Amino acid sequence: MIGKKRKLGRKIDELKNGESYTASSAIEDRDLLMYLGLTDDANPLYIQHDYASETPYKRPVVPTVMIFGKISSIISMHLPGPGSHIIKQHLNYPKPLFHYSEIKITAEISLINKRDHFIEVNIVGYDDEGDEIVNGLVTVRPPYEPKSMNASSLENFY
């Protein structure tokens, strides 16, 4: 990242209601192992096939925080993009996501509040079988416009 010029995401005046972004990705073993290593979360439902097979799920599930990580990435990298910050989230997980599944998440701007500098983004995500695995709303502060020429010291973000 250092030495590579990056642009800030779009400012609040550049956004429109109804704009959306969709991303797809698969959850791989390495993703799960990194999450488990970072959080020290050893929930057997996430990692032990023999335990999970004895539950109503029948197989290991992906931690919901990893699904939120995919949502956070969409917000911080694409809509509105770098410099954005999630300030509130209300998400439902109606069906578990299983290991090795493909996930497709769409984020769509549903409200723009210029006075208080936030947007609301509707979230919906599906697994590779077409079942909804996440839905809800996140409230986001889009990137702020730098206030002075001194902000040019953040040159890697322009």
pTM of the predicted model, to two decimals? 0.84
| Closest by CA position to 95, among listed 64, 70, 141, 51 | 64
Torsion (CA) 51, 52, 53, 58 in degrees, nearest 10 = 170
Q: How many domains does the chain have?
A: 1
Residue 130 included in any domain: yes
**Domain that includes residue 66, residue range:** 12-157
99-139 pLDDT, tens digit each: 889 999 999 999 999 999 999 999 999 999 999 999 999 99
Percent of the chain with pLDDT over 70: 89
The answer to whether residue 105 is domain-embedded is yes
On whether residue 149 sits in a domain, the answer given is yes
CATH number for the domain harbouring residue 136: 3.10.129.10
